[in-house]
Structure 1
Amino acid sequence: MKYKNQEEIGGFLGEWCGAHLREKGHLSHIDAVIPVPLHPKKLKKRGYNQVALFAKTIAQNIGAEYCDDWLIKTINTKTQTKKGRQGRWESSKDAFELDASYSQNFKHVLLVDDVITTGATIESCAQTLLQQKNIVVYVLSIAMASEG
Structure 2
Amino acid sequence: MTLKNVWHYFLDLFYPNLCCICNENLMSGEEVVCLKCVNDIPCTNFHKQKDNEIEKRFWGKVQIERGTAFYFFQKGSKYQKILHLLKYKNGKEIGFVFGKYAASELSESADFSHFDYLVPVPLHPSKFQKRGYNQSEQIALGLSEILNIPLETKNLFRAIANPTQTKKSVYERFENTDGIFKIHDKNVFAGKHVLLVDDVLTTGSTLIACAKAILESPDAKVSIFTLAVA
Aligned pair in 2 of structure 1 residues 141, 101: CA closer, same or farther (>3 Å)? closer
CA distance in 2, matches of 1:129, 1:103: 10
1:3-18 to structure 2, matched below 5 A, reads 3-18=88-103
- The equivalent of 1:115 in structure 2 is 200
How many residue pairs match? The answer is 145
- The equivalent of 2:227 in structure 1 is 142
State the 1:24 CA deviation.
Answer: 3.4
CA distance in 2, matches of 1:102, 1:3: 35
- The equivalent of 2:147 in structure 1 is 62
Task: Give the counterpart letter for 2:212 in structure 1.
Answer: Q
Higher relative contact order (CA 8 A, sep 6+): 1
Which consecutive unaligned segments of at least 5 residues does structure 2 have? 1-85
> When you count helix as a share of all residues, which structure comes out higher?
2
Whether the aligned pair in 2 keeps the contact of 1:96 and 1:125 (CA below 8 Å) is: yes
State the 1:136 CA deviation.
Answer: 1.1
> When you count strand as a share of all residues, which structure comes out higher?
1
1:62-141 to structure 2, matched below 5 A, reads 62-100=147-185, 103=188, 105=190, 107-141=192-226
RMSD, aligned CA: 1.6
CA distance in 1, matches of 2:104, 2:166: 31
- The equivalent of 1:22 in structure 2 is 107
- The equivalent of 1:46 in structure 2 is 131
Task: Give the counterpart letter for 2:185 in structure 1.
Answer: A
CA distance in 2, matches of 1:64, 1:4: 28
State the 1:102 CA deviation.
Answer: 6.5
CA distance in 1, matches of 2:200, 2:149: 22
Task: Give the counterpart letter for 1:44 in structure 2.
Answer: Q
Which consecutive unaligned segments of at least 5 residues does structure 1 have? none
Could you state the TM-score of these two structures normalised by the residue count of structure 1? 0.91
The percent identity for this pair of structures is 39
State the 1:106 CA deviation.
Answer: 5.2
- The equivalent of 1:35 in structure 2 is 120
Whether the aligned pair in 2 keeps the contact of 1:32 and 1:106 (CA below 8 Å) is: no
CA distance in 2, matches of 1:106, 1:131: 11
